[in-house]
Structure formats: structure tokens, C-alpha cells
Amino acid sequence: MLAPVPRPPGSLALRCSRALLAPRARLSVLALLLLTAAALVVLYEPQRLLSSGWPRQTDGTGAVMLFALAYGVCTAAFVPRPVLNLAAGALFGSAFGLTAAIAGTVLGAGISFTLGRFLGQEALRPMLRGRWLTAADGQLSRHGFRSMLAIRLFPGVPFAAANYCAAVSRMRYVPFLVATALGSVPNTAAYVVAGAQAGEPGSPAFLFSAGFIALSAVAAAVVAWRKRHHLRAPAPAVVPEPERERAPEVVGGPR
């Protein structure tokens, strides 16, 4: 019998695997996943299932955990978080609704960050040009925790866009997730309380939550207006440090 001929190093399977793992190929996979998720949201509107068609046989802790899981998947698929927060309050009340919403927020942010980091970062980082993109990337890379905390505290930046921008930067996982969890509490709580008190729009809790949502939006606009000069300013050039002059070598030692 003839011995099997070993495949050469440059075989077709090896070339195909390298092509599939290339940065542009992974970016194409990410774009396809995001387009598919957006199309599914438009066609099926999963937020209706969370708000009105929630299975009645699930209750208690299991229902809260299932809602948090569905919440995270939906936010990664571009379902607006305010709608989900209102649904959490309407279904579970203020306390359990806030727990489910924050857990789903962190889960959805982690899913988006992981997809962006492994499928898009390597291909997108060379494309970061221009003042705005360079300034945003530098801010997220150098001051990840406080930058993400500010983004979550002040509404205005879309949730999914902030997740993928952070993934393309050099921000680490733990600061990103902790800042997301802490910074999302105030606005999420306002929407959850509004959803829980939707049947009584004249109640003090509903009026307070609605007022907080409006004031946070105004504060976000004011902060963005004041910070616009920092983003328009060109990034400071990095000046290389001058090399120290070396002392001339002495041939031979003292005798």
C-alpha cells in the first residue's frame, strides 16, 4: 500500500482558515450579525413579547432571570433600552424590575463588547482617523472607567454604539462592565419606576421619575455642548524623548 502523502504547509485548508480568521473577514461577520439582528428587531419587534406577551407560567425569581436574559439579548440586537426598562417596571414592579433591567443591561453590554472586541477591533483600529474619532478613542483608552461612567450617567449616546466604540478602543472588560452597571442605575431606575407607576400618571413617583428623565436629558445636552471644544481640538502630538548621549568608550583600562 502506498503511504499517505502529507499535505504541504500551504494547503487549501490552511489558506481558508487564515482567510476566515483575517481581520476583515471577522469584521464582515460582525457586520452580518448586526444587520441580521437589526432586521429581526424590525420584523418581529421582540419588545412586544417582553411587555405584553410574557409567559404567564413564569413567575418569581425564574421570571426575573429569564427577563434579564431576554433583555440582554434584545439590547445587543438594538432594541431600545427605555422600552425594555418600562416593560420591566410594568411586569415586576420597581425593585425586581430594576434588578432585571440592570442585570440585562450588563449582560447586553458584555455581549456587544465581546463581539466588537474579537470581531471588529483589529480591523477597525487602523481606520480611526479624524479629530472626533481620535479624541474619542484616546479618551476611552486612557480614561476608560470614568469616560464610560459619564456616558452611562448622561443619556444621549446610543447604548449599542457606546458598547462597540468601547470594544474598538483599548478599554478593559472589568472597568467597562463596572462603569456600565453603576452608571446605568439612575436613568434605568427612573424608567422602571415610570413603568411601574404607569397606571397612575398623577402619582408622585411617576412625576418624579418623569422629571428626572427630562432633567438628565437636558444635563446631557449641556455637558455635550461644553465638551465640544475638547473633541474638536487636535490630539497632542507625541514628541519622542531625546536619546541620552553615551560617554565615549575608553580603549583599555587604567594601568
Residues lower than pLDDT 50 in the chain: 1, 235-241, 243-245, 255
% residues pLDDT > 90 (the chain): 22
pLDDT value of position 109: 95
pLDDT value of position 24: 75
Name the average pLDDT for the chain.
77
Rounded-to-integer distance, Cα 158 and Cα 19, Å: 33
pLDDT value of position 240: 47
The conformation of residue 45, written as its DSSP 8-state character, comes to: -
pTM above 0.75, yes or no: no
